Amino acid sequence: MRYIIRILLAAIIGFIGYGYYLKNTTINEGDKWIGIGVLLIAFVLMPLFIYNRYKNKNVKDYLMSNFTEDKEKTENQ
């Protein structure tokens, strides 16, 4: 999964770089490539990264409600 994320990141950077190159030349299609890169970051790369980071973790350990319940228990004792 790590290699897929790295390859995807390199491709997205390539899309955005190519878009800026086209934008600085006379062709007006640069915005399209930059937009494709940003959409890939938002809807493909970010969910894959989040899934990869939290796939074997207990999410309840990171919730604020769990922290406040533990704090209330210790204060009431």
Tens digits of residue pLDDT in 14-63: 999 999 999 999 788 899 999 999 999 999 999 999 999 888 888 777 77
Q: Look at residue 75 in the predicted model and tell me its pLDDT.
A: 66
Residues 6+ apart with CB under 8 A from 1: 48, 52
Hey, where are the domains in the chain?
2-76
Per-residue b or e along 43-74, where b marks 16 or more CB atoms closer than 10 Å to that residue's CB: eebeeebeeeeeeeeeeeeeeeeeeeeeeeee
17: DSSP letter? H
Of residues 26 and 9, which shows the higher confidence score?
9
Q: Look at residue 70 in the predicted model and tell me its pLDDT.
A: 65
Q: Look at residue 5 in the predicted model and tell me its pLDDT.
A: 95
Report phi then psi at 56, rounded to 5: -115, 25
